Structure 1
Amino acid sequence: MAVLGAQLVITLVMVSVIQKLSPHYSFAKWILCRTGLHRYLHPTDDELRTRGGVPKEKPPKGGRNKHAANGSGPGGAGTQFHIPRSIEVELLTSPVLERDVIHLRYFTEYQWLLDFSVYTGIVYVISEVFHFYFPLRQEINLSMVWCLLVIFFALKLLSSLTVLYFQSEESIGERSMVIVACLVYLLVAMVVLIVDERILETGLEDAYASFNASASKFLTEQGLPSSGPASKIVVKFFLAMGCGLLGSLFTFPGLRMAKMHWDSLKYCRGNRLMQVLLNLSFVLPFILVILWIRPISRDYLTVRVFQGMQQPLLKPHVFETLRLLLVILVVVVRFALMPIYLQSYLNLAHDKILDLRKEAGRITNVEFKQKISSIFYYLCVVTLQFAAPLILCLYLTLMYKSLGGFSWAGIFRESVVLQHECAANDVEPVGAAVSQGDGDFNIIESAQSLQASFSSLKNVFSTEVYKGFLGFATWWSYFTLFATSSLGIVYQSYFNKT
């Protein structure tokens, strides 16, 4: 308790809050059931028979046989019959209720991810306020553990959704697209990693130099002389592999986002304000991407002095804080528009019926109803594809801010980077307060040696290391999110023209 102090109290209180409130209050359920979403209901068999001109079959004489009893014979609930594809039926709508969504696939995973993200955000805000008045010295920032768990859950769910394409024999096209996307993003990442940092502000060069020097020093102190744990090319190769995998995980969520964005613009055609907000939410990730390109962002805003001015538009610490705040704006705008995107997805059931009327031939009543009901059955999967990438990007950014030494108050005052490696010298040795007359010299020396080892290991992961690697991960996540969404928009434009 003495080591963690108030942070442990915040964590324990939030764990208690999760146990008490999560069964009764859920942000995930509120999004689906309290924002006015409505789904389309498929017509009954009797209505399809009437509209399709199919005579109702009479049960065989002699009463109900065993086939009619289980609903598989003529006249039973499982009877199949053919109707024209051009059948005209009116689809009824129903509000999305809690009793409807709790049985959907991936609902439990969706609810856990969104609710845990909200609780983690509360822990992070309380911790940041506390650290603003009582800065950390040698304490562990427990809010980073919460953020890391959210990132892990988001990656796990995105991976499980992607693995579905490799388990089904009918998803050959989707499987091929995931593999191709992984290879393409791997190639793009290799190109990005060799770009000069005077163009792309990744911070990886400083991060690798700091990590290699600190790790070499730590290994030497442990009696293992070394020039460094890994060469730069090996580190960048594994970074490129991770970038390729993340790009493959973002492929179908990005394409789904593009489809929902395209449909949302169509349904909001008469509302200019809503169209502006939808387009703004789509473009904001691109603005974040270019804010890491130094010649058109940092140099233009913090270095160049325009005519008639005596100093640049922004100071460096103001620019860094505004870049972090823009991330919060992107996530807030996307989640605020989330009900509109989800309703555009649910409207696909009605669009499918309209497209089916343009086709010739006949279709069974079971297939007709499945085309309508399958849209709602995959609502939680689509919601995860929309929310998980945003949550991943948000909490990567929060870790980048806290571990990279930035400040939310950078707009008003210059940020003070907390150098983790400088605080170790200000801590009193463990054995200083222990009387040497006790004779426990071996225990004191062991404790001092253990403390020195942990301090040296902590110095390996310095602020520069976190700033470089988390900054690059944040930029890459937004780049892949915008790239896949843009590819989806191009596809939708071509598909609609053809």
Structure 2
Amino acid sequence: MRSGKSTDKTNRPVDDDDDEDAGEGPSVPPDMKPGVKVTGTRSEANIESFSLKDLRGLRKDYTRRPDESIISWLVRLWDAAGEATILDGTEVRHLGSLSHDPVIDQGMMRGTNPHSLWARVLDSVAQRYLCADDLYMQQTQWKTIEQGIQRLREMAVAEIIFSDDITSRNPDLVPCTSVMWRKLVRLGPHEYASALAIMKRDERDETVLDMAKKLRAYADAVHGPTHARIAAVETRLQKLEDKIEENHKRLRNEIKEDLLQISAAPIRGPGIQHRRSPDGERRKHNSHIENKPLTIPKDFDLHLETKSVTERDTIALHYFPEYQWLVGFTVAATVVYVVTEAYCSIMKSSQEMNISVVWCLLVLAFAVYPLLKILFSLTAHYFIAKDGGERSVCVTFGFFFFVKAMAILIVTESYLEFGLESGFSNFSESVMQFLEKQGLESQSPVSKLTFKLFLVVLCSLIGAFLTFPGLRLAQMHLDALNLATEKTTQALVHINFLSPLHMVLLWVKPITKDYIMNPPLGKYSVPLMSEDTFDTMRLWIIILLCALRLLMMRSHLQAYLNLAQKCVDQMKKETGRISTIDLQKMVARVFYYLCVIALQYTAPLVMVLHSTLLLKTLGNYSWGIYPESDTAAENNLLPSSVFSESPSFDGKTKITAVQVTMALGSLKNIFTPLLFRGLLSFLTWWIAACLFSTSLFGLFYYQYLTVS
């Protein structure tokens, strides 16, 4: 036998008037648990060694129920066990599967040292889910105040698991933030919305327990008379049930006496089979009906009603903060870019840095981040699942774009005029000249093979990231075509889908540049425009196509939301029955992923737009609206004359400023516009090519393969 272990159980205030709802509300913590001896008045629990019988009792009390979500089970586990149940690895393995989730159960069994069961469960759940939103998505709407308190405590458990600022493991002592309260209001009935909003207006530090007391006080104030009437009715029903139970007992006794008199007489034959009590049959039948979910025929005449989506409806959606941040920051950065371009064109300043470049780079970073977060979170689920088709799609398209990028980089400049070869040569020469001036060995920092290998890896990652946005765009394109009734709208939908192809063809020299600049007109060759004019036209075409895609965003998102009615219509063609819970999940799942779809639609658009803006600025292109200054004068900064006529600077400040200016001038001589033209042209072309390739594959899949 192992020596006894001891721990202190966290004191949690318990309201004796709470409703005990096994399906929704938490169960009241029992005074005594198997293996726990409470001594004194400080709730100190001495944990003794658990026998197999005790472990079986723990397993019966702590096992997750069939229709119970993970987050609801965690709240019930805290109320039932708290931090007083200390188990080692062997005892946890004897408990078996408590959560019915293999990942969580295996995480609980790690470690041989004694730890509280609550700490083991929290650590394993943190490893199972990536963020708190994955637990929030399991929450359903609440109707009563007790159910609302349950949802609030579930949010507190999620904050304990995923927040680094919370040190307490008691859900009742977790601070109730404004974000948690807004989610609670969003999940509640509309008649409670105004009262709950007034209940927490300020930013005072209030715990979940404090807000639960406020909710119960509000419920008592509103529903007090009703509860009194209900209590009176319940009392009368209880008395009636007691009388019925007495009559049943008397009837059972009479039947038992009759059976004893019959059994005393000699009986011939094989014997009498045991008959089940009518009360037992009735109780079994009633429990079976209560546990069985409500179902309806699949061919039921069901029509969904439409409702306008407001900002309040989207607050609790998955990835809504990321989408809101991306849109807001992109609009701000675009405005800053336009103002900066107008300032530079009017002031003709060649000594100041164009700050719009920094904003465009930040926009590209924030555009890629949501896609990375979505892809990584989804990929984690794909690789955990045993039969994950999405995992194969990610890996397949990643290798496909890897091979495609290698093939594209082999094509000469006479077909695809990116300018990578000339840009890399100019970069190598600039680096060698810089090293010679510094007295170092003049050798290129990177070979051409390494440079192209880096581009190939980057291209394969971008292609993998744009796989599911392209597939989703193809499905929305088909649904938007069915939704459009006018010929003009259908034409715009087709042009929007083919816009990446138009961008790709702008860099194919034999198709666009050769025919536009030198069109074949019999014996004569009359150029329609100069090379600089063609570059300007290419920039404007990309911006106009991005504006068209932004204009068609509303129709595509509406086409996605119509998938709910499409799923219902498909269900009507099937036979059998479906539970109302599954039907609600099928319809709500479409709206829940609205922000994810919006991110997949807007993020590639933002990447193409701002890579084009970077191409114009860093590549020293022109918009064609105003006359450009001499690019040579812009590139050749004279650091020595920048502060020569600035008497306001002291000696040290002047020397430091001159050194910084010389360093920036050296970097500008290394990273020339010729290099940026090659890199950004290839990046813009590759994003459009990947988006069109995945969209074309998705169009073929949804148009032909799913139908067959």
* TM-score clears 0.5: yes
- CA-based RMSD: 2.8
Give the Cα separation in 1 of the matches to 2:584 and 2:660: 67
Q: Which residue of 2 aligns with 1:158?
A: 371
Q: Which amino acid aligns with 2:670?
A: V
Is residue 410 of structure 2 the alignment partner of residue 194 of structure 1? yes
* Alignment equivalent of 1:371, drawn from 573, 580, 586: 586
* Alignment equivalent of 1:231, drawn from 434, 447, 456: 447
Give the Cα separation in 1 of the matches to 2:588 and 2:316: 13
Q: Which amino acid aligns with 2:562?
A: N
Partner deviation per Cα, 1:161-217 (whole Å, 9 max, x = no partner):
111222213472112211211111111011101110011011101110111111222
Q: Which residue of 2 aligns with 1:222?
A: 438
Q: Decide whether the 8 Å contact of 1:193 with 1:236 is kept in 2.
A: yes
Q: Which residue of 2 aligns with 1:5?
A: none
Q: Report the more deviating stretch, 394-403 or 454-463.
A: 454-463
Counterpart mapping for 1:96-245 below 5 A: 96-168=309-381, 169-170=384-385, 172-245=388-461
Give the Cα separation in 2 of the matches to 1:404 and 1:300: 24
Give the Cα separation in 1 of the matches to 2:425 and 2:540: 29
Is residue 477 of structure 2 the alignment partner of residue 267 of structure 1? no
Q: Which residue of 2 aligns with 1:472?
A: 682
Q: Which amino acid aligns with 2:436?
A: T
Q: Which residue of 2 aligns with 1:279?
A: 494
Counterpart mapping for 1:317-466 below 5 A: 317-409=532-624, 418-419=631-632, 422-425=635-638, 427-428=640-641, 430=643, 451-466=661-676
Q: Report the Cα offset of residue 429 of structure 1.
A: 6.2
**CA distance 1:80–1:417, shift in 2 (3 Å):** farther
**CA distance 1:461–1:80, shift in 2 (3 Å):** same
Give the Cα separation in 2 of the matches to 1:128 and 1:392: 19
Give the Cα separation in 1 of the matches to 2:317 and 2:661: 51
Q: Decide whether the 8 Å contact of 1:405 with 1:416 is kept in 2.
A: no
Q: Decide whether the 8 Å contact of 1:302 with 1:312 is kept in 2.
A: yes
**CA distance 1:129–1:189, shift in 2 (3 Å):** same
Q: Which residue of 2 aligns with 1:48?
A: none
**CA distance 1:445–1:338, shift in 2 (3 Å):** closer
Q: Which residue of 2 aligns with 1:483?
A: 693
Q: Which residue of 2 aligns with 1:44?
A: none
SS, match of residue 507 in structure 2 = coil
Partner deviation per Cα, 1:132-158 (whole Å, 9 max, x = no partner):
122342322111111111100111111
Q: Which residue of 2 aligns with 1:50?
A: none
Q: Report the Cα offset of residue 131 of structure 1.
A: 1.1
Q: Report the Cα offset of residue 432 of structure 1.
A: 7.9
**CA distance 1:135–1:467, shift in 2 (3 Å):** farther
Q: Which amino acid aligns with 2:342?
A: V
- Return the TM-score normalized by structure 1: 0.79
**CA distance 1:408–1:454, shift in 2 (3 Å):** closer
Partner deviation per Cα, 1:252-306 (whole Å, 9 max, x = no partner):
00110110001111122x3211111100111222111111011111111113352
SS, match of residue 578 in structure 2 = strand
Give the Cα separation in 1 of the matches to 2:633 and 2:587: 57
Partner deviation per Cα, 1:57-110 (whole Å, 9 max, x = no partner):
xx9x869xxxxxxxxx9999x972233222222212211122111111111110
Q: Decide whether the 8 Å contact of 2:637 with 2:665 is kept in 1.
A: yes
Q: Decide whether the 8 Å contact of 2:430 with 2:670 is kept in 1.
A: yes
Partner deviation per Cα, 1:6-39 (whole Å, 9 max, x = no partner):
xxxxxxxxxxxxxxxxxxxxxxxxxxxxxxxxxx
Q: Report the Cα offset of residue 458 of structure 1.
A: 2.3
**CA distance 1:444–1:369, shift in 2 (3 Å):** closer
Q: Which amino acid aligns with 1:311?
A: V
Q: Which amino acid aligns with 1:471?
A: S
Give the Cα separation in 1 of the matches to 2:490 and 2:660: 60
Give the Cα separation in 2 of the matches to 1:295 and 1:123: 37
Q: Which structure is richer in relative contact order (CA contacts within 8 A, separation 6 or more)?
A: 1
Q: Decide whether the 8 Å contact of 2:418 with 2:507 is kept in 1.
A: yes
**CA distance 1:301–1:222, shift in 2 (3 Å):** same
Q: Report the Cα offset of residue 487 of structure 1.
A: 1.1
Counterpart mapping for 1:23-42 below 5 A: none
Counterpart mapping for 1:44-83 below 5 A: 80-83=293-296
Partner deviation per Cα, 1:433-488 (whole Å, 9 max, x = no partner):
789xx9x7x99877655543432122111111111111111111111111111111
Q: Which amino acid aligns with 1:250?
A: L
Q: Decide whether the 8 Å contact of 2:367 with 2:603 is kept in 1.
A: yes
Q: Decide whether the 8 Å contact of 1:406 with 1:417 is kept in 2.
A: no
Q: Decide whether the 8 Å contact of 2:518 with 2:525 is kept in 1.
A: no
Partner deviation per Cα, 1:299-355 (whole Å, 9 max, x = no partner):
111133523866212221221111111111111111111111001000000000111
Q: Decide whether the 8 Å contact of 2:639 with 2:658 is kept in 1.
A: no
Q: Which amino acid aligns with 2:375?
A: T
Q: Report the Cα offset of residue 218 of structure 1.
A: 2.1
Q: Report the more deviating stretch, 379-388 or 94-103.
A: 94-103
Q: Which amino acid aligns with 2:521?
A: F
**CA distance 1:443–1:314, shift in 2 (3 Å):** closer
Q: Report the Cα offset of residue 223 of structure 1.
A: 3.5
Give the Cα separation in 1 of the matches to 2:330 and 2:658: 39
Give the Cα separation in 2 of the matches to 1:376 and 1:361: 26
SS, match of residue 297 in structure 1 = helix
Q: Decide whether the 8 Å contact of 1:421 with 1:459 is kept in 2.
A: no
**CA distance 1:429–1:312, shift in 2 (3 Å):** closer
Give the Cα separation in 1 of the matches to 2:656 and 2:568: 75
Q: Which residue of 2 aligns with 1:295?
A: 510
- Return the TM-score normalized by structure 2: 0.56
Partner deviation per Cα, 1:378-408 (whole Å, 9 max, x = no partner):
1000000001100110000000011101111
Identity of aligned residues (%): 36
SS, match of residue 92 in structure 1 = coil
SS, match of residue 93 in structure 1 = coil
Unaligned stretches of 5+ residues in structure 2 = 1-233, 240-286
Give the Cα separation in 1 of the matches to 2:328 and 2:340: 18
SS, match of residue 574 in structure 2 = coil
Q: Which amino acid aligns with 1:212?
A: S
**CA distance 1:421–1:141, shift in 2 (3 Å):** closer
Q: Decide whether the 8 Å contact of 2:348 with 2:629 is kept in 1.
A: no
Q: Which residue of 2 aligns with 1:9?
A: none
Larger Rg computed on CA atoms: 2
Partner deviation per Cα, 1:399-428 (whole Å, 9 max, x = no partner):
001110111116x86x66634774223751
Give the Cα separation in 1 of the matches to 2:552 and 2:569: 26
Q: Report the Cα offset of residue 492 of structure 1.
A: 1.5
Q: Decide whether the 8 Å contact of 1:420 with 1:462 is kept in 2.
A: no
Q: Report the Cα offset of residue 495 of structure 1.
A: 3.0
Q: Decide whether the 8 Å contact of 2:519 with 2:525 is kept in 1.
A: no
Give the Cα separation in 1 of the matches to 2:400 and 2:548: 29
Q: Which amino acid aligns with 2:429?
A: A
